[in-house]
Structure 1
Amino acid sequence: MREVMDFDVVIVGAGPSGLSAACRLMQLSKQENQQISVCVVEKGSEVGAHILSGAIIEPRAIDELFPDWRTLGAPLTTSVTEDRLLFLSDNKKSITLPQVAVPKPLHNQGNYIASLGNVCRWLAEQAEALGVEIFPGFAAAEVLYHEDGSVKGIATGDMGVSKDGQPNSQYMQGMELHAKFTLFGEGCRGHLGKELIHKFGLADESDAQHYGLGMKEIWDINPELHRPGLVVHGFGWPLDKNAGGGFFLYHTDNHQLVVGLIVDLNYSNTHLSPFDEFQRLKHHPQLAQYLKGGSRVSYGARAIAKGGLNALPVMSFAGGMLLGCNAGTLNVAKIKGTHTAMKSGMLCAETVFDLLNNDVTSGSTDAVFEAKFKQSWLYEELHSSRNFGPALHKYGTLAGGGFNYIDQNWFGGKLPLSLRDNIEDHACLLPSSESKPITYPKPDGILSFDKLTSVFLSNTNHEEDQPCHLSLLDHSVPSKHNIPIFDEPAARYCPAGVYEVVDNGGGNALQINAQNCLHCKTCDIKDPSQNIRWTVPEGGGGPSYPNM
C-alpha cells in the first residue's frame, strides 16, 4: 500500500498557473480566516528547472496577485525600451515594419523582459511564505479516481525502478496525494491533462489544438552591443511558405540577450528540422550583429499550445480543473502566455475556494468557473485574439498578417466571424516523396551548433537505469510506416537528438535516446502515426535550466 497524504487542494506543476493558484488560495483563506491545506508537486529537481519561455511578461496578472511585487523583489527589472518587428526576406535582407503597421497586440510598451524560471522561483517563495507546501522532484505519474469517476488526487511516480521494471536498491514507492480538488498545471501537452481531456470529453466541442516548438538560447554578448530593453520579433526567412513561425531576440540585463525561434508544428515538409532552422537563422545579419564575439551559455526547447480560445477545452471537471498552458490559455496574438496562465490559476483558485467555503467538496466545478471565466479579462483577451492563429494557418504569413492587422487594429478583435482550423498538426506532414529535400549547413561552432552540444548546455540528466518514458504504442510502426514513407521525421523534429534511425542488422530501426529528452513534448504532438506516448520519467530528471 502506498502512503497517503490528504490535502484540501493538490496542484500539479510549479509553473506560473499552478503557483498563482496556490498563492491566491492562501490569500483568500487568510482574508476569510479559513484554514485550508494546499500542496504543489513539481517534477523538476527544483522550482524553475523545467520552465522555459521567451519571455516578455505583461504585468497585469501579477499586479492583481501581488500589487506590491516591486517591494517584494519580483525579478521583473528590465522594462521594454524599444520594440521592432522585422521581415527577413532572405538570408541577408530584412525590412523593419513601421509601428503603425504592427498589430496592436505585438506592441510591448509597459512589459518586462524576464526569466520565467526566476519568476516562478519568486512565486514559490511567496507561496511558501503564505503556507503552501511545495514538493520539487516528485513527478505526478497517475490520476486517481473515486468510484463515481471523479478525480480523487494523484500518485507520484515510484523512484528506483530499473529498466526491466523491477525495484532496485534505491527503490522508493510513490505516494498518493488525495484532495477535495486537484488542479493540473503541467504546462503544454501535460500527460495527465491529455488523459483528463480524453476521459471527460473536455475538447469534444473545441477546435483542434495547435502547437509550436520554441527553441531558446541565452548569450553573453559584447557590452558595447548590448541594448537593455530592446525587443526584436521577426518572421520570414529561414522558414518558407509551408512553415509558419517567427523569431525573437531580447536584450536582458547583465550584458545578456536571449534569442529563439518558434516553428509552427503544422509544417508540411517532412525533411524540415526546426533545430537546424534555428541554427541557420542566427547567421542572418540582423541577429549575427549582436551575437558575434559573444558566447552561448544556455539552450532549451519547449512546445507551446497556440490554438487559442477556439481550441480551448472545458477547463473544469468532476474533482478538478486544468490550468494555463495545460488547457491552452496562451494569447498567440501577443506571443505571451504568462499573464494569461497566472490569471487562469487565480480564477480556478477563486472557484475552488468558493466551493470549499460552501462545503462543496466534490462534483463538477463547471458552472462556477464558467461564470468567473466569462466575466474576466482573460476571456475578453482570448476572444479578441481567437482568429489570429487560424488566419496565419489558412492564409499564410503575409495575407494572414494583413487579416490580423485589420482585425486587431481596425476592429479591436471584434470582427463578427470566427475562423476555424481543425486539421491537427501531425496530419499536415507530407510523405518524403512529396517533400522538398533540405540541406542544412554544417554548424560553425561560433553562431551555430549541433544538437548534442546544445543539450549539454541544458543540464539535462535522467537516471540511466529506469524504464524509458518515451514509449511506442506499436514497435513495428517506425520500420513499416514512418521510415519508408516519411523518412522518420522524429530524427529531425526532436530538438534534442532523442530519436535516431539506425541499422539494426535487419534494416533501419528507430532508436530512442531518452537520456537527452528536454520534455518538450514535440514527439507526442508531431509523430504522423501518433505512435509515440510521452510520460513522466523519474522525478527530478530532465533539464535543469538556471534562468530560462
Structure 2
Amino acid sequence: MSDQMEPREAMEFDVLVVGAGPGGLSAAIKLKQLNPELSVCVVEKGGEVGAHTLSGAVLEPRALLELFPECDPALIPLATPVSEDRFMYLTETKAFTSPVTPATMHNHGNYIVSLGNVVRWLGQQAEELGVEIYPGFAAAEVLFDGERVAGVATGDMGIGKDAKPTGNFQRGMELRATYTIFAEGCRGSLSKQLMAKFDLNAKNDPQTYGIGIKELWEVKPEHFKKGLTIHSVGWPLKSDTYGGSAIYFFGENLMAYCFVVGLDYKNPYLSPFQEMQRYKTHPAIAPFFEGAKRISYGARALNEGGFQSLPKLTFPGGMLIGCAAGTLNVPKIKGSHTAMKSGMVAAEAIAEALAGERPDEVTAYATKLEASWVWPELHSVRNVRPGFAKWGFYGGMINAAIDTYIFRGKAPWTLKNHYDHLQLKKAKDCQPIDYPKPDGKLTFDRLSSVFLSNTNHEENQPVHLTLLDASKAISVNYNEYASPETRYCPAGVYEIVGEEAGNPQLQINAQNCVHCKTCDIKDPTQNINWVVPEGAGGPNYPGGM
C-alpha cells in the first residue's frame, strides 16, 4: 500500500531513539551531555511520555546518579525511600515471613517510584537539553539504506479496517538518522524484526519471559506502611510455575500491587490474571486491601532470560538497549537501572563514533557494556531463573541459595533457557482450574480492569493483533490447547464465540489491548504477531503507575 502513495516527508538527525522509556531517554540525555551540538530525536508510541510505562517499581538509583551526579531521587514525584523489606512464603492459609531477606531483594538505599513519573521527569531533562521528543507516533517500519538501518517510519494515520485510507488519512513520517537506538522495551515489534533480519540470536539462549500484572490502590491510612516492600512466593501458584508478588507502599496512601507469572507455565488452563486476583484473598494479604480503592490497572511482559539470553547488541546503523535487549535483573526484579546504564553506554559509543570515522556498526557499544557494571551484575545471577525452570520451586530455591551464597554468582556452569511457547501441554493432559467469581470489591473481572487502564484505540483501523494463519486459531489452539489466548491475555482481547452453536470462532477485541505483548510470546505456534496500532493508541497510565 505504501508504495502506491505519495512519498513520506523526512527528517534527518544524528541519532534517533525509538522508545521513551528509562533506557531510551537516558541515552538521549547522555548524548546531549557529551555533545550538545548533536541532533537527537526520541519517538514514542504512547500519547505522552510515560503513558505506556508500567513497572513495580523499586528504583536502584545507581545509573540515575551517574547520569545526574547532583540529583536527589527523592525529588522525583512520589519517590519514596524504602524503609523495610519483607519476604514471605505463602501456603493456601498461612504466611511465613523469612527472617532473612534474599540478598538480591535488599532495597536499602533504593526508592519506590512510579516508573511513569520517572520517565516523565527524564523527558523534561531531555527536552531542556535540546532533545526533540515526539510522543503519539508509533514507529511502524524500519528504514534501510541497503543493508544498513537508516531510521524508522511512523505509521500512517487514518487507515480504515478495510486497509484503505479514510477521510482522516495522514501519511507517516520518515525519521532518518546516522544511528538508531532501539529502546522499545520487552518484545519490541521492530526489535523482533531486526533480531530476525540480522540473526542477532544466533549464539544466545532463547529469551524467556514473564507477565507482570499491576494494580494501583489508594489504601486507608491505618493500613499504609510508607516505604515498606513485601515480596512473596508460593500460593496461589503451584510449585511447577514460576512467579510471585510484590506490594509497595509509597507516596501518600498509595499501594502498588504487582503479580508476575513466568510464561513458561505448562497448563493451558492457567490464567495469570485470575491467579493475580485470588492472591488478594489470602488471609495474610486481604487486610491490606480492606476499605481500599482500586484506581488503576495495567500489564506488561518482562524479559527473564538474563545474561545467557542477551542477543548480539549491534547491527549496521543501530543497536538494542535496555529491555529491548533483555537487561532485566530477574532476582532483583529490577531493570530500570540496567536499562538506563545500557542507554548511557550506547550514547558514549555513538558519540565517539560520530566524532570519529562513523563506522557502519558501532561494535564499541557491546565492548563498553561488557566493561561496565551491568555485565558482571547480570552474569552473577544468570543461573537463578533457569534453576526454577529446571527443578521447580523447591529445587529452584535450593539452587538459588547455592548459587548466591556458596558460589557467589561464579559457578563454573551456566544453565540454559528455553522457548516459552513450546512449554504448554495439550489440554487433554491437564486439569482445568476452577477460579472463583470476582466480588467487585477485592477481586475483579478483566473488562472492568481494562477500563481503569484508560486504554483506547481508534475503532476504524486495521486490527494490530494479526494471525499468520487464521485457521490455526481453531485447528490448533482451540482443538489442542483449549484456546489458551483467552486466558493468558490480561485484557480480554481474545474470545471464542459461536461455541454453543457448534461453530467456534476466534474473536479479537483489539480495542482492549494494553500492549503487554504476552500473546506474541506465548502462542503455541507463534501464530499471533503483534504490530503497532495507530499512534497514541493503547493504555494511558496515570502518574502512580
Instruction: Give the TM-score taking structure 2 as reference length.
Output: 0.97
What letter corresponds to residue 96 of structure 1 in structure 2? T
Deviations 1:191-232 (A, max 9, x none): 000000111111110001000000000101110110000000
> Pairwise mapping of residues 309-324 of structure 1 onto structure 2 (< 5 A)?
309-324=307-322
Contact 2:239 2:394 in 1 (8 A): no
Q: From 526, 536, 540, give the equivalent of 2:536.
A: 540
**1:491, 1:483 → 2: CA distance?**
10
For 2:38 and 2:16, locate their aligned partners in 1 and report how far apart those are by CA, in whole Å: 11
Counterpart selection for 2:28 from 22, 25, 31: 22
Superimposed CA distance per residue, residues 60-100 of structure 1 (whole angstroms, 9 cap, x where no aligned partner): 0001001122289333631111101100011x21111111x
Q: Does the Cα contact within 8 Å between 2:78 and 2:251 map onto a contact in 1?
A: no
Contact 2:8 2:171 (C-alpha < 8 Å) held by counterparts: yes
Amino acid at match of 1:375: A
Q: What one-letter code is carried by the residue in structure 1 that aligns with 2:506?
A: L
Greater displacement, 103-112 / 133-142: 103-112
Q: Bigger shift: 65-74 or 112-121?
A: 65-74
Is 1:480 aligned with 2:475?
A: yes
Q: C-alpha separation between the residues in 1 aligned to 2:315 and 2:502?
A: 48
Q: How does 1:56-455 map to 2 (within 5 A)?
A: 56-70=58-72, 73-75=75-77, 77-90=79-92, 92-99=93-100, 102-147=101-146, 149-360=147-358, 362-366=359-363, 368-421=364-417, 423-455=418-450
Query: Which string of whole-angstrom CA distances, capped at 9 and with x for unpartnered residues, describes residues 147-197 of structure 1?
Result: 2x0101100000111111111111110010110000000000000000001
What is the alpha-carbon distance in structure 2 between the residues aligned to residue 287 and residue 135 of structure 1?
42
Aligned residues: 537
Aligned equivalents of 2:73, 2:453: Cα separation in 1: 32
User: d(CA) in 1 for partners of 2:127 and 2:308?
Assistant: 36
What amino acid sits opposite 1:346 in the alignment?
A: M
How far the C-alpha of 1:506 sits from its partner, in A, is 6.3
C-alpha distance in structure 2 between counterparts of 1:545 and 1:370, whole Å: 33
Structure 1 unmatched ranges of 5 or more: none
State the match for 2:47 in structure 1: 45
- Residues 460, 517 of structure 1: 8 Å contact kept: yes
On the 8 A contact 1:242/1:269 being kept in 2, the answer is no
Are 2:79 and 2:250, in contact at CA under 8 Å, matched by a contact in 1?
A: no
Amino acid at match of 1:50: H
Q: CA RMSD in A?
A: 1.2
Q: Deviation per CA, 1:36-66, whole angstroms, max 9, x where unpaired?
A: 1000000000000000000011000001001
Range with greater deviation from structure 2 (69-78 or 489-498): 69-78
Aligned counterparts of 1:74 and 1:446: Cα–Cα separation in 2? 32
Inter-partner Cα distance in structure 1 for 2:370 and 2:72: 30
In 2, distance between residues paired with 1:457 and 1:447? Answer: 15
Helix, strand or coil at the partner of 1:285: coil
Structure 1 residue matching 2:34: 3-state secondary structure: helix
- Counterpart CA distance in 2 for 1:497 and 1:37 is 42
CA contact under 8 A between 1:103 and 1:404: conserved in structure 2? no
Q: What are the Cα deviations for residues 492-523 of structure 1, in whole angstroms up to 9, with x where unaligned?
A: 00000000001176610110000000000000
**8 A contact 2:240–2:393 mirrored in 1:** no
Q: Tell me the CA shift for residue 411 of structure 1.
A: 2.8
CA-CA distance at 1:369 after TM superposition: 1.5
The residue type equivalent to 2:292 in the other structure is G
AA matched with 2:192: K
* Secondary structure, aligned partner of 1:500: strand
Q: Say which SS state the counterpart of residue 381 (structure 1) adopts.
A: helix
Q: Which amino acid aligns with 1:88?
A: L
Cα separation, 1, equivalents of 2:77 and 2:403:
34
| AA partner of residue 534 (structure 1) | W
Q: Could you tell me how far apart the structure 2 residues matched to 1:75 and 1:516 are?
A: 29
Structure 2 counterpart of 1:461: 456
SS, match of residue 298 in structure 2: strand
Output the CA distance in 1 between the equivalents of 2:246 and 2:463: 34
Residue 242 of structure 1 aligns with an amino acid whose one-letter code is D
Q: In structure 1, what is the Cα distance between the partners aligned to 2:216 and 2:318?
A: 37
Secondary structure, aligned partner of 2:285: helix
**4+ long deviations beyond 4 Å:** none
Give 2:12's aligned residue: 6
Kindly provide the amino acid, as one letter, of the partner of residue 330 in structure 1: L
Partner SS state of residue 19, structure 1? helix
CA contact (8 A) 2:21 2:53 kept: yes
SS in 1 for 2:35: helix
State the shift of 1:441 in Å. 0.2
The 2-side partners of 1:409 and 1:284 are apart by 31
Cα offset for 1:286?
Answer: 2.2
Aligned equivalents of 1:484 and 1:84: distance in 2? 44
Name the SS for the 2:181 alignment partner: strand
Deviation at 1:541, TM superposition (A): 0.4
Whether the 8 Å CA contact 2:17–2:24 is kept in 1: the answer is yes
CA contact (8 A) 1:103 1:409 kept: no
